[in-house]
A and B are shown apart, each in its own frame.
Chain A
């Protein structure tokens, strides 16, 4: 039976989505972690609302980075343990396509809820409308990059002892550019400055990640399986 590549992509996507939804705590835990991290900052800095409004976009982005790092674990772990990842590597379909489907499913399950949660928190914390809008736009462009870069590094550490801390150590320096440009866009928007440059660069990072990350991930997985 010969099926076309889009069917293969959709099959893996549906499979990963239904598997992820059936393990709802794995999706809920990073979100709860996200809320807790954001909630801790007022305790450390005091309830003064001017200061909090000034730093909240940055705080929310930091919490997104940390929570995205935690959620990467669910991308390959269970497939690695039950052997389905190995079968995917052996299948006759291009591994990059299968990985693209897995990354998409992972982003839909973890990245998209994080965006909604950030907007929700932003409304609660009285952020001005411009920063909410640009928080949304930068996250739409930025969180897929986090999932892509994350998948490549996650593939290197999947199944290792102490992989969690190691993953954070490897991945957070690589997340810095996304953070810088997103915050720069939001800050400029609040000041009324043009932000097209930052948005274009975030878009460029996204395109670069889409182009390279599936190849890096599939090579890493092949290496991990020896």
Chain B
């Protein structure tokens, strides 16, 4: 069983398979993205309270979802790499980090753009905002650790431990920040009660979420392929590959 997985996960096979996957998921991302953007900007109704500015949720909400999802992927792939010594899992974990940080940044930036007209402030110390900001710092810490350790294998394994420590801490941080903001914050922000979302808004939102997911998969595979080539530059299959190309 393990041997089959190992064979499947060998860098050479992964490189060949991921080439196709990048194309499939990239194409799917494009289709879903176009559908989601048109659905969100043209066909979905404006909100009765927030007007047209509600449309930012089609960018904001999926990136907030992805910011957490990518962290879980990063920690999961890192752990698998740590335990079963599967090289491509290390590579995937490392390639996820900048993407996750970008999604987190996008969620914070779009949230802040939305907050200015709605709340009258770019930033409030709300529980969700604060824990998202801390998540950004966790990503940046991971990236900083990766660049500080020169040996790529050691960097990947150290990163896996750090991501695991982060995974244990994220619920604790989120919970504590939530408590903190309810204790300290007066009613400056009248939080809009989330109404059950209308189906015309839900469909574009889900389309965009799927587009983000496909984008993440194809982007992480592209990054992983580059990383893998650099890691395996002295191995035979890379030599063959380059030989084929140059012939």
Contact = CB atoms under 8 A, between A and B. Distances in A.
Q: Is the interface of A mostly helix, strand, loop or mixed?
A: helix
Contacts of B134: 173, 176
A161 B144 CA distance: 12
Contact of A223 (B161, B166, B179, B180): B161
Interface string B199-227: 00000000000000000000000000000
Contacts of A160: 148-149
Interface string B104-120: 00000000000000000
A219 interface: yes
B137 interface: yes
B173 A153 contact: no
Contacts of A157: 145, 148
Interface stretch (A30-38, A49-57, A162-170): A162-170
Nearest to A168: B141
Interface in B86-144: 134, 137-138, 140-141, 144
A71 interface: no
B169 interface: yes
Interface in B166-209: 166, 168-169, 172-173, 175-177, 179-180, 183
B140 A224 contact: no
A193 B89 CA distance: 50
Contacts of A180: 176-177, 179-180
A13 interface: no
Contacts, number: 74
B165 interface: yes
Given A160-B148, A226-B154, A169 B141 contact: yes
B240 interface: no
A71 B151 CA distance: 27
Contacts of A149: 165
A199 to B, nearest CB: 14
B138 A181 contact: no
Nearest to B178: A180
Contact of B145 (A166, A173, A187): A166
A177 B144 contact: no
A205 B169 CA distance: 10
Interface residues of B, number: 28
Interface residues of A, number: 30
Contacts of B179: 180, 184
Nearest to B141: A170
A152 interface: yes
A173 B141 contact: yes
A170 B162 contact: yes
A173 B168 CA distance: 13
Contact of B158 (A162, A174, A223): A223
- Of A187, A205, A220, the most chain B CB neighbours within 10 A belong to A220
Contact of B161 (A162, A187, A219, A226): A219
Contacts of B149: 160
A95 to B, nearest CB: 14
Interface of B: 134, 137-138, 140-141, 144-145, 148-149, 151, 154, 157-158, 161-162, 164-166, 168-169, 172-173, 175-177, 179-180, 183
Given A152-B161, A157-B145, A173-B173, 11 more contacts: A149-B165, A156-B161, A163-B148, A166-B145, A169-B140, A170-B162, A173-B138, A174-B169, A177-B169, A205-B172, A223-B157
Interface of A: 149, 152-153, 156-157, 160-163, 166, 169-170, 172-174, 176-177, 180-181, 184, 187, 205, 208, 212, 216, 219-220, 223-224, 226
11 contacts: A157-B148, A160-B148, A166-B148, A169-B140, A169-B141, A170-B144, A173-B141, A184-B180, A187-B183, A216-B161, A223-B157
